[in-house]
Structure 1
Amino acid sequence: MASIIMENIYNQIESISSKWKTDNIFIIGKGPSVDQFVNLNYEDHLVININDSEKIIKGDIGIFSANWVRQSLRSNGFHCKYYLAGKPLAREINHDLLPPIPFELDDEELITYRFTKPEYYDEPFVLTNALKLCLDIAKITDKKPNVYLLGFDFSTEHGQLSKAFKQDFAHGELDRSLMVHSHETLYLQLAKFCEETRQVDLYHVGEKKYSRLSPQELVTKFSVTKPKIVSDKYPDEQVEHHKVLIVAELTNNHLGDTNRLLEMVERAYNAGADLIKIQKRDVDTFYSKEKLESYYWSPFGKTLKDYRKGVELRNDQIEVLDRKCKELGIDWFCSILDYRSFEIINDFNPGLIKIPSTISNHTDFHKQIAAAYKGPIVISTGYTDKAYEDYVLETFSENEKIYLLHCISSYPTQLNDCNISVVSHYNELGLKYKNLTPGYSSHDIGSFGSVLAVACGARMIEKHVKLGDVDWVHFDKVALDLKDDSFINFVKDVRNAEVALGSSEKKILASEHHKYEVIKK
C-alpha cells in the first residue's frame, strides 16, 4: 500500500512540475507578513500551500495534517490541483492520504532522519513535507529550485495570522504562541540540511537573523501588480455582502513624527485594518488669528498654532506614508478640511477622500469638492440632523460612491447617545440611492457600538487609534492603543460580527439536526 501511495505522489509531482516554467517555488504560510505578498505574480511559478493558506494565495499543491484544515478548506472550496492530506478528502478531490508516522520514528529528534527517507508521512510540522516535495521536484526536473518561504514569521509579535482569516478554524486546538519556538527549531534543522546538501536554494523571507530576503526585497525582486484602490476592491456590496472596511483613524496621534507615523501604520496593518486615515488642514487659514494665538500647551510651544503646526503632517511625510502603504499593500485616505489640503492630497490619486463632521457647515467648500472630485467619498454626520443627510445626497449625487458614516461628536460617546439605529436608516437609504454605503465612525468606548453597527448594515467602521497615552492630544481618550491588543481585539470583534451575520436566506444547514426523531404510526 505504501509503495502505491509513493508511486501516486511521484506521478502527481511529475505531472504538476512539468508545467512549471521557472526555477522558483513559493511555499505559503499564514503569518501576518504574507499579506505583503498577495499581489505578487505567481503565474509561472510553482506554489505550495501549507494547511489552509490557499485562502490567501491559491497554489498548485496543498499539504495539511490536522482535521481543522479539512473543515476550513471545505468552507472555502478546494483550489489546489493536488493535496497531500493528513485526513481523507472526498473522492473527487485529487489527493493522496498520508500514512501516520511509524511508532519507532515518531520523535521530533528524528525529523531530519524521516526527511531523508523516500516515504512521506503525516507530519504534524507540515513544512517538513513541503520542503521534502521541493527536494523530490529537484530530482525529477533536474533543476535546483529557488524555494521562497512566505508567511513563516515564527513570531507572534505582529499577530498570529494573516488578516485574510476572518475565522480561525484552528481556534481552541492549538496555541500558536507556544508552538512558535518549537516550529522555528524544527525549521532550522531542515534548513541546515538543505544548505549542506545544496539540492535547493532556500530563502526564508522575513526579519529574522537567518532570513535571506526582507519582505520588501522580495516584492522588489518579483513583479507586483498595482495596488487596487478601494472603489475597485468592493465595487458592489452584493458581491461580498457583509464585508466591512475597518479604518484605523490616526487623527493627530502620530504627533507629526515620521517614525511614529510609520510604526502606527505597521501596527494597524498587522492588527487587520483595511485602511489607514490621516487628516490634513492648512493651519494658517483654517483657524482665526485669535484662535491661533490662544494658549495651548504642547512640546511644540504654548499656542494653538504651535500645537497644530507641530502635529500637522508635512507633504514629504505624506509621501513617506504613501510609499509605506504601497509596500504593505494597504490603502490610505485623508480627511480634508480645506481646498488647499484637497489639492495636496489629490496629487496622490487617492482611492477615497473624507469630509469630516468638523466641517459639516462649510458648504462652500463642499461645493468646490463636489465640482472637482467625482470619486468615492466618506462623509461623517456628527453634530448634524436629517437635513444634512439630504444635503449630502444632493451635493455629492455625482460621486462614484458615498460612504455615509453615522457619528456622534462627543468624546467619548455614551451608550445612551450612540443611536446605532441610524445606521439601519442609512442602510435603507442605500436601497434607494445606489451609490450610498452605510457606515459608522465610532467615538464610543470599545467595540460594542461598532459590532451593533455591523449588524445594522455598516460596511465601513472607523476607529481612532493611538500609540500610547499622550496627555496633550485631545482625542487620546477615545482611541484604541496599538501598543497592546486593544485594536487587534476590536478588529476580531468586527470580523466575528461579519461571520455571525451570515446569510439572510433561511435554509437548513449541515450543522443542524433534529433532537427528536419523528414517531411513525
Structure 2
Amino acid sequence: MENISPTLQNIVSKYQGKPIFVIGKGPSLDAIDTSALPEGLIINLNDSERIVPGDVAIFSANWVRHSLQEHGFRSGYYLAGKPLPEEVSHEVLAPTPIELDHEDMNVLRLEKEEFFDESFVLLNAIKLALLAQKDAAEPLDVYFLGFDFSTQAASQTTKAGTDWSGTNANERAAIIAAQEHEFKQFVHYFEKADRLRLHHVGEASYSEFTPVAFNRTICGVGAPLASGPIDLKDPDRVLVVAEFTNNHLGDPERLVEMIERAKEAGADLIKVQKRDVDSFYTEEQLNSYYYSPFGKTLGDYRRGVELNDEMLELLDATCKKHDIEWFCSILDYPSYEALKRFNPRLIKIPSTISNHRDYQKALSEDYTGAVVVSTGYTEQEYVDHVMDTYKHNEAVYLLHCISAYPTPREACNIAVVGEYNALAREDKRIIPGYSSHDIGSVGCMLAVASGAKMLEKHVKLGDVDWVHFDKVALDLRTNEFAKFIQDVRIAEEMVGSGEKKILDCEHHKYAVKS
C-alpha cells in the first residue's frame, strides 16, 4: 500500500463500509435527486464535479483540466492525468506501463494496486472502489449515476453546460461504444459480488435501478408507493390515475412496461379503455382514412390498438403482480360484458360517450359499484343526468374535464372542481376530481387545492405520431410522470386539513400594550 498516497487513504477510510457513487454526465442525471444522496464516497469522472462536487475526481484528458480551471476546483482530491495548480490537492498519475497498455488488459490493470493515467477513467473509479473495500468486512455497493452511454444530441445532463471535450459526433460515438463495452465487461467481472456490487442507474437493459426507483429506494425521496387494496374513498389522499388510453398500442410487452413504470413512478391506479370497435363506429367511420402501422383506415387503427381478451388477462395478471389496481373506460355494453368477469371496483364513463344515455342507463341497472365520470364537452345538464342515472351506485367520482387536447390554460376552468367539491358536501357519494388534458402539473395542483380527490393524467412510452392523445401525455420512460406525481403530493401536503388553528411553526405576535 506504500504506492497509495496518505491523503487518498484517509479519504477512503472516512467512508468505511459506506456506498460509493460514481458520477458521470449523462441525461439520466437530470432525473436523480443528487441532493438526497446518502452518506458515501462520491467519485467524479472528468468534470462532473460541476454538477455534483465529490470527494475524489479522476481525469486524464487535457480538456478536463481546462474545464476545471474555468469553473473552479470543487472536488476534495484529484487523481489527475495532467498537473494542476500547487494549491489544488492532487497527484499526477504515472503512464500505464507498456506491458499493460492494451485495451484487452483492463481487468488485469484493475487488479494492480497502482493507479495509472487511464484514458478509460472509469477503470480508476472502480479501482478506487476496490481500495475502499479492501478492509471492509462486506462487499461495497457502487452506484453509477449519469452513465447513459448515449450518442444522441441531448447526451449530457442539462446541468453540464458547455461540452469541453471538443469531440465530433463520429469520434464521440466510437468512444462511447467502447466505454459501454468495457463497462459491461466489469459488470460481468463482478457478478459474484464478493467484493463490489455494481449498480447501473438508468434505462439500459443492464440497469438495476431506473432514476425514479433510485430516488425512492436509495435516496428515500419521491411519492410513496401504495400497497394492497387501495382505499378508494380515503379523504386524506388524492388518487393519481395513470391514463393509458390506447398508448399500449395493442403490444403485450409495451403494456407490461407501462404498468411497471406507472407503478414505479407512484401511480395509485391504472386506467385503460375498451370498446367494441365494429359496433361502436359506423361503417363509414370504420372505412375512413387514418394512417397507422395497422393499415390505412380508422377501423384498422382501432382494431390494432384494442385490448383483446388475452391482453386483458395480461393486464390483470401484471397489475396483481405489481400490486396496483386497474379500471377501464368502458364505451359500450358488449365491452362491459367482456369486463364483468374481472369484478371491477371502478368503471369509467368517459366524456366521449356523454350522449350515449341508453347505454349508461343499462349499465347503471346492472352495475352498482363506483363510477368515474368525466364531464368534458358538457354543461350542468349532464351533471344532473349523472346524479340521477347513477343514484344507486356506491360512489360517483365526478371529474371536471375539458375535451381539448391540449387544453389551453385559459380554458382549464379549474374552479368547476370547487363546484363539484361543494356538491360533495351535500352528497357524500360524490368525490370531486379532474381529468387533465392540459400541459404539465399546474392545473392538477390547482385542482387539488380546489378539492380534487382523483386526478387522471395521460401517460405514454415515447412519442408516437399516429396515436390519439399522445401529445398531452407524460412520458413514462423519462422522469415526467414521477415529477408530476411529486408535484401533486406537494400540493396535497400544502392544502392541509382546512381546519384553522395555531401551528407549532407560527410565531412573532406583538403583545398588546397595557
Normalization by structure 1: what TM-score? 0.59
Structure 2: 5+ residue stretches without partners:
1-8, 21-27, 43-50, 55-121, 140-193, 214-225
Question: 1:310, CA displacement in angstroms?
Answer: 0.5
Change (3 A) 1:453 1:469: same
Partner of 1:193: 137
Any residues of structure 2 matched to 1:156-171 within 5 Å, and which?
A: none
Partner of 1:390: 384
Q: Is 1:109 equivalent to 2:8 in the alignment?
A: no
Distance 2:287 2:135 in 1: 63
Change (3 A) 1:374 1:158: farther
Partner of 1:301: 295
Q: Is 1:474 equivalent to 2:468 in the alignment?
A: yes
Distance 2:369 2:239 in 1: 17
Question: 1:108, CA displacement in angstroms?
Answer: 3.9
The partner residue of 2:233 within 227, 232, 235 is 235
Change (3 A) 1:185 1:504: farther
**Matched residue type, 1:334:** C
Q: Is 1:254 equivalent to 2:248 in the alignment?
A: yes
Partner of 2:487: 493
Conserved 8 A contact 1:331-1:351: no
Residues 117-171 of structure 1, C-alpha deviations (whole Å, 9 max, x = no match): xxxxxxxx499xxxxxxxxxxxxxxxxxxxxxxxxxxxx899769xxxxxx9959
Task: Indicate the SS of the match to 1:193.
Answer: coil
Task: Indicate the SS of the match to 1:487.
Answer: helix
Residues 171-215 of structure 1, C-alpha deviations (whole Å, 9 max, x = no match): 999999969x999969x94998358xxxxx9xx9x999899xxx9
Q: Is 1:402 equivalent to 2:396 in the alignment?
A: yes
Change (3 A) 1:244 1:256: same
**Matched residue type, 1:193:** A
Any residues of structure 2 matched to 1:21-40 within 5 Å, and which?
A: none
Distance 2:245 2:227 in 1: 24
Task: Indicate the SS of the match to 2:137.
Answer: helix
Question: 1:341, CA displacement in angstroms?
Answer: 0.9
Conserved 8 A contact 2:12-2:41: no
Question: 1:286, CA displacement in angstroms?
Answer: 0.6
**Matched residue type, 2:502:** I
Partner of 2:368: 374
Distance 1:321 1:327 in 2: 10
Conserved 8 A contact 1:292-1:304: yes
Any residues of structure 2 matched to 1:71-470 within 5 Å, and which?
A: 108-109=12-13, 125=18, 189=133, 193-194=137-138, 228-230=228-230, 233-237=231-235, 240=236, 243-470=237-464
Conserved 8 A contact 1:159-1:271: no
Q: More displaced, 488-497 or 377-386? A: 488-497
Change (3 A) 1:428 1:468: same
The number of residue pairs the alignment matches comes to: 351
Residues 20-55 of structure 1, C-alpha deviations (whole Å, 9 max, x = no match): xxxxxxxxxxxxxxxxxxxxxxxxxxxxxxxxxxxx
Residues 208-233 of structure 1, C-alpha deviations (whole Å, 9 max, x = no match): 9899xxx9xxxxxxxxxx97444xx1
Residues 239-259 of structure 1, C-alpha deviations (whole Å, 9 max, x = no match): x2xx11111111111111111
Change (3 A) 1:190 1:399: farther
Distance 2:391 2:381 in 1: 15
The partner residue of 2:499 within 497, 505, 512 is 505
Conserved 8 A contact 1:246-1:273: yes
Distance 1:394 1:444 in 2: 29
Residues 321-340 of structure 1, C-alpha deviations (whole Å, 9 max, x = no match): 21211121111111001111
Task: Indicate the SS of the match to 2:486.
Answer: helix
Question: 1:485, CA displacement in angstroms?
Answer: 2.2
Normalization by structure 2: what TM-score? 0.60
Question: 1:508, CA displacement in angstroms?
Answer: 2.2
Distance 2:41 2:421 in 1: 39
Q: Give the RMSD, CA atoms, in angstroms.
A: 4.2
Partner of 2:69: none
Distance 1:299 1:330 in 2: 31
Question: 1:484, CA displacement in angstroms?
Answer: 2.0
Residues 470-490 of structure 1, C-alpha deviations (whole Å, 9 max, x = no match): 111121111112222222221
Task: Indicate the SS of the match to 1:463.
Answer: strand
Change (3 A) 1:173 1:463: farther
Change (3 A) 1:345 1:428: same
Task: Indicate the SS of the match to 2:328.
Answer: strand
Change (3 A) 1:172 1:229: closer
Task: Indicate the SS of the match to 2:245.
Answer: coil
Distance 1:385 1:302 in 2: 36
Larger Rg over CA atoms: 2
Residues 386-425 of structure 1, C-alpha deviations (whole Å, 9 max, x = no match): 1110111111111111100001111111122111111101
Change (3 A) 1:371 1:484: same
Change (3 A) 1:191 1:368: farther
Change (3 A) 1:316 1:207: farther
